[in-house]
């Protein structure tokens, strides 16, 4: 392969500078506020404006560091490898064999689009969701990105077809092959405008915004004039409860609108396509992202229905991937919002070897009480204390009892499971209803739990775990028939020799349930 060395686009210097500034946002804001709150005058300008000078020096340092990262970064292709060299005083070299590369993920930010650039993340099987990608090219042209794809495809094709070693990138046969692969791309899912609006409306963006505000307040609490805010709030209260209520309502609506806008920008143009043996997900308005997930890395599939969407027949679908570094990590949002009645058809187009029918085997009636009995016992002292110390209003805490029982019955009625040949399907509920689809060869461990009280009622809990990045995705069926639990253990034990050795655990627990 060619040993010609390539540089990143000059926009890299700006992006790296802004990235470094973002990481140093705390000292930058502190220095900025320190200048605004300066109330001394020593007569020495370099003392009076010391924080300004430090702030300016820090900004210059960040700009120089971004410029150096751009000037000292090179990549090239050699010996069927993508080679990257970077660093000023410490030169770092990273050699990534093309055969190890699982996917090339693309991002087009606001600085990329005007110049038709992309950021490329190189993901390998060893990438971790807790680490950065194996390699990152901050800003290169789309043509350069296609060149990397061509080198990678050629290297993998050589490995499969040793007789084709004389083919080069500009070979007409090679170009036709690449175009043929692109033509095979099959679009399997796209968010409509209506679905996008419903997704934005029912998303959890409000929680993200409020948590961000809480983090800001914790970091800069000393700089916020709380006394002035409380005085102003007290003056507002004088106008009456109605005015205060309207202001609070307007604030909540404002936060909700902001969360809708954030979700809209993030999921705009969301599409899922099949290209050869890869799932390709594209999304984003201001920042367009393209994530590639090899089908062979998918470990399990989950269909999730939260209480807000379930009554309207909507669900979301996630896949769990081995390794990491793709999308949001090991858990990837495959269908952010989809009608439940078309989930099976859409998933079968991607995973034809899976069975996506609803599980039909329900839980036994004798295990029903275990879903709420422990919570009930834990809450009795709390209810008693509230009723005693806050009598008579504390008696309202008695309403917790029917709420606990109703929630337990809700979980009981949601539970179901099924075995289809080499696949285990489990449906269970925390707050949201989740249906997990796991194949036998992808299940890393299967665990049976049983307490003394469970044995008396002849029920048991089964926990199936599949790899999800550096962690695990677990499917749980609580308090099923003991005989059925043992049958699932036997089913898992009969795996073929080619698969990993099963990890079976049988536990006796003193507690009544989880």
Average pLDDT in the 481-487 region? 94
**Cα three-residue angle 274-275-281, rounded to 5 degrees:** 55
What is the rounded distance in angstroms from the CA atom of residue 330 to the CA atom of residue 326? Answer: 7
pLDDT tens, 339-377?
999 999 999 999 999 999 999 999 999 999 899 877 667
pLDDT of 171: 41
Average pLDDT in the 13-19 region? 90
**Cα three-residue angle 45-46-48, rounded to 5 degrees:** 60
**Cα three-residue angle 282-286-292, rounded to 5 degrees:** 20
What is the rounded distance in angstroms from the CA atom of residue 286 to the CA atom of residue 110? Answer: 6
pLDDT of 381: 85
Instruction: Read off the pLDDT band of 184 (50, 70, 90).
Output: low
| Contact between 473 and 304 (Cβ < 8 Å) | no
pLDDT of 209: 55
Instruction: Read off the pLDDT band of 214 (50, 70, 90).
Output: low
- Closest to 255 measured CA to CA, from 306, 193, 204: 204
Asked which of 58-67, 301-310, 410-419, 497-506 is least confident by mean pLDDT, the reply is: 497-506
What residue spans define the domains of the chain? 11-183, 193-267, 362-514
What is the rounded distance in angstroms from the CA atom of residue 394 to the CA atom of residue 357? Answer: 47
Look at the block and give the residue holding tokens 């220095």: 31
Average pLDDT in the 326-347 region? 82
Average pLDDT in the 313-335 region? 77
pLDDT of 133: 75
Whether pLDDT at 114 is above 80 = yes
What is the rounded distance in angstroms from the CA atom of residue 59 to the CA atom of residue 22? Answer: 11
What is the rounded distance in angstroms from the CA atom of residue 76 to the CA atom of residue 388? Answer: 75
pLDDT of 91: 86
Higher pLDDT, 57 or 66: 66
Rounded to the nearest 10°, the torsion over CA 150, 153, 156, 162 is -70
pLDDT of 156: 76
Whether pLDDT at 73 is above 60 = yes
Higher pLDDT, 494 or 437: 437
pLDDT of 480: 95
What is the rounded distance in angstroms from the CA atom of residue 482 to the CA atom of residue 486? Answer: 6
Whether pLDDT at 503 is above 60 = no
**Exposed, middle or buried: residue 43 (CB in 10 Å: 0-12, 13-18, 19+)?**
exposed
Instruction: Read off the pLDDT band of 471 (50, 70, 90).
Output: confident
Backbone angles phi, psi at 7, to 5 degrees: -110, 160
pLDDT of 364: 94
In the structure encoding, which two tokens stand for residue 508, read together? 């006796």
Model pTM score: 0.75
| Contact between 209 and 258 (Cβ < 8 Å) | yes
Instruction: Read off the pLDDT band of 47 (50, 70, 90).
Output: low
CA 379 to chain CA mean position, Å:
34
Asked which of 148-157, 261-270, 499-508 is least confident by mean pLDDT, the reply is: 499-508
Separation in Å, CA 173 to CA 144, 167, 179: 20, 8, 10
DSSP string, 326-367: STTSSEEEEEEEEEGGGHHHHHHHH-TTS--SPP-EEPPGGG
- Closest to 266 measured CA to CA, from 415, 107, 132, 393: 107
In the structure encoding, which two tokens stand for residue 424, read together? 């285990």
pLDDT of 173: 34
Average pLDDT in the 372-395 region? 81
The length of the chain is 514
pLDDT of 179: 44
Side-by-side strand order, sheet with 74-78: 74-78, 81-86, 92-97
């Amino acid at each position: 392969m060619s040993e010609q060395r390539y540089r990143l686009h000059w926009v890299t210097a700006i992006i790296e500078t802004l990235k470094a500034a973002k990481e140093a946002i705390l000292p930058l804001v502190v220095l900025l506020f320190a200048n605004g709150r300066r109330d001394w005058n020593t007569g020495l300008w370099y003392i009076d404006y010391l924080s300004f000078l430090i702030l300016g020096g820090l900004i210059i340092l960040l700009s120089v560091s971004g410029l150096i990262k751009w000037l000292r970064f090179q990549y090239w292709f050699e010996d069927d490898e993508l080679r990257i060299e970077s660093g000023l005083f410490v030169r770092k070299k990273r050699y990534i064999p093309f055969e190890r590369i699982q996917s090339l993920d693309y991002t087009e930010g606001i600085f990329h689009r005007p110049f038709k650039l992309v950021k490329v993340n190189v993901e390998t099987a060893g990438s971790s969701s807790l680490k950065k990608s194996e390699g990152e090219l901050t800003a290169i042209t789309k043509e350069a990105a296609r060149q990397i794809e061509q080198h990678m495809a050629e290297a993998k094709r050589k490995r499969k077809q040793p007789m084709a070693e004389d083919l080069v990138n500009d070979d007409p046969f090679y170009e036709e092959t690449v175009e043929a692969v692109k033509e095979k791309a099959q679009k399997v899912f796209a968010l409509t405008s209506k679905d996008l609006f419903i997704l934005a409306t029912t998303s959890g963006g409000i929680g993200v915004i409020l948590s961000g505000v809480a983090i800001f307040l914790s970091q800069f609490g000393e700089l916020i004039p709380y006394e002035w805010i409380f005085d102003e709030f007290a003056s507002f209260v004088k106008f009456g409860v109605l005015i205060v209520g309207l202001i609070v309502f307007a604030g909540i609506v404002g936060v909700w609108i902001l969360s809708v806008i954030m979700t809209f920008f993030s999921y705009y143009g969301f599409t899922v396509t099949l290209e050869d043996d890869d799932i390709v997900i594209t999304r984003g308005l201001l920042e367009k992202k393209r994530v590639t997930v090899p089908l062979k890395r998918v470990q399990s599939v989950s269909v999730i229905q939260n209480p807000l969407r379930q009554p309207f027949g909507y669900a979301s679908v996630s896949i769990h991937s081995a390794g990491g570094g793709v999308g949001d990590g090991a858990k990837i949002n495959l269908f952010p919002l989809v009608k439940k009645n078309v989930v099976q058809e859409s998933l079968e187009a991607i995973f034809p070897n899976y069975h996506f029918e609803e599980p039909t085997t329900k839980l036994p009636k004798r295990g029903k009480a275990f879903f709420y009995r422990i919570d009930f016992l834990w809450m009795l002292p709390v209810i008693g204390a509230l009723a005693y110390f806050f009598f008579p209003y504390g008696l309202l805490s008695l309403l917790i009892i029917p709420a606990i029982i109703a929630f337990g019955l809700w979980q009981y009625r949601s539970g179901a499971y099924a075995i289809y040949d080499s696949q285990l399907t489990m449906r269970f509920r925390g707050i949201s209803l989740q249906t997990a689809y796991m194949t036998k060869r992808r299940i890393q461990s299967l665990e049976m739990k049983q307490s003394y009280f469970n044995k008396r009622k002849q029920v048991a809990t089964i926990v199936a775990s599949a790899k999800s990045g550096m962690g695990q995705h677990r499917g749980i069926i609580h308090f099923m028939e003991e005989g059925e639990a043992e049958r699932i253990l036997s089913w898992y034990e009969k795996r073929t020799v080619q698969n990993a050795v099963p990890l079976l655990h049988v536990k006796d627990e003193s507690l009544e349930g989880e």
